[in-house]
Amino acid sequence: MSTESSHIAHADAEHGETMTRGSIVRIAIYLSLITAVEFIFALILAPQYESIRHIVNPIYIVLTLFKAFLIVAYFMHLKF
């Protein structure tokens, strides 16, 4: 039992070292920038330029999936 609890404690300590306040802020800034680019595509480019809508939609989908990956990986702690 003691080796199992020490392994869990080591894993918790290791996790705490990787997610610092700076890394959380950095990921939040990345998410904000991606969201801003998504808004530009959805609210400015797509309505004004109907001819490039077939390009804008896949780019928008890829950005949304990348943002979802960042949320799951960092804020749900699945990367660590």
Residue 8 domain-assigned (yes or no):
no
pTM of the model: 0.68
Residue 48 forms part of a structural domain: yes
Range of the domain at 37: 20-75
Q: Is residue 40 part of a domain?
A: yes
Domain assignment present for residue 3? The answer is: no
Alpha carbons 46 and 50: distance in angstroms, whole number? 6
Task: Please state the domain count of the chain.
Answer: 1
**Residue 44 belongs to some domain of the structure:** yes
Per-residue pLDDT tens digits for 30-79: 999 999 999 998 888 888 888 887 888 899 899 999 999 999 988 887 77
Query: Does 31 fall in a domain?
Result: yes
Q: Is residue 56 part of a domain?
A: yes
With contact defined as beta carbons under 8 Å apart, do 76 and 70 qualify?
Answer: no
